[in-house]
Amino acid sequence: MVVALEMGWRQLLFENWPVDPAVMDAHLPDGFVPDVYDGSAWLSVVPFTNVAVRPKGFPEPFGIRLPELNLRTYVTRDGVPSVYFFSLDAQGIASVLGARLFHHLPYYYARITLSQDDGRVRFDSRRRHPGSRPARYAGTYGPTGEPFSAPDDPFAAFLVERYRFHTEAQDGSVRYTTVDHDPWTLYHATADVETNTLLTAHGFARPDADPVYYYSPGLDVVASRSRRADELR
């Protein structure tokens, strides 16, 4: 990122599959180790919406809304747990081009609709990025039961309590961003996912296991500018 950003992440579903660590390792750049829980690496699809995205210090009314769909996994680099992004699909051509050109993130332009009715979120994303493999995700999801703090649940904490994101830029360099936010409040969730071709679009076979779902109403975030990973050394 050129500058630090403030935003809100809202109406998130964390859809998580166990994956053989060797399979995940084959999809990662050198220097990353798949982070393992209960013997498995984990591949996650996360639909949500960004709200009030703006440079740090700007008032919220200056921010924009940006529905988004992420494909990610969990890694360590130099011993630090982090998230690794394979792709970020988002609504808004200008935002996607800016993120690719200046923020070094693998964003793809998509047409996304997100709505909420009776506590359930309807999310539909169709990738429209020129030259990319098509990817579609459509489903309805929502919370069940009572809220809990993610740090109180070891598996939930493994998935969401991470404060550094990595990705590979178009020039082949590895980039990282740090994020600052309160601990996550989560719910167990149910989801009816009608279509998901995001995994196969990025070379993953759909896992045989059923996914594990968590839902969060969201939180507010401050994200640093993007830096080259070799700056950490």
Task: Output the 3-class SS for 106-171.
Answer: CEEEEEEEEEEECCEEEEEEEECCCCCCCCEEEEEEEEEEEEEEHHHCHHHHHHHCCCEEEEECCC
**Mean pLDDT score of the chain:** 90
Sequence letter at residue 3:
V
For the residues 70-84, what does the mean pLDDT come to? 94
Rounded-to-integer distance, Cα 54 and Cα 8, Å: 10
Predicted confidence (pLDDT) at residue 2 exceeds the cutoff of 70: no
Average pLDDT over residues 90-102: 58
Alpha-carbon distances, residue 179 vs 13, 35, 69, 82, 97 (angstroms): 19, 19, 18, 11, 22
Q: What is the pLDDT of residues 117-148, one digit of tens each?
A: 999 999 999 999 877 789 999 999 999 999 99
pLDDT in tens, 9-61: 999 999 999 999 999 999 999 989 999 999 999 999 999 999 998 889 999 98
The per-residue pLDDT for 1 is 43
177 in Cβ contact with 1 (< 8 Å): yes
Q: Are 174 and 168 in contact (CB under 8 A)?
A: yes
**For residue 19, what are its two tokens?**
């994956």
DSSP type of residue 48: E
CB 63 within 8 A of CB 206: no
In angstroms, rounded to a whole number, what is the distance separating the alpha carbons of residues 22 and 141? 31
What is the assigned CATH class of domain 5-232? mainly beta
For the stretch 145-191, pLDDT in tens is 999 999 999 999 999 999 999 888 777 778 888 999 999 999 999 99
155, exposed or middle or buried, with CB in 10 Å at 0-12, 13-18, 19+? Answer: middle
pLDDT grade for 199, boundaries at 50, 70 and 90: very high
Q: Which residues of 160-194 are buried (b: 16+ CB within 10 A; e: fewer)?
A: bebebbbbbbeeeebbbbebebeebebbbbebebe
pTM of the model: 0.93
Could you tell me if 120 and 142 are in contact, meaning their C-beta atoms sit under 8 angstroms apart? yes
Residue 229 — very low, low, confident or very high, per pLDDT cuts 50/70/90?
A: confident
Structural domain boundaries of the chain? 5-232
pLDDT-based confidence at residue 104 (cuts at 50, 70, 90) = low
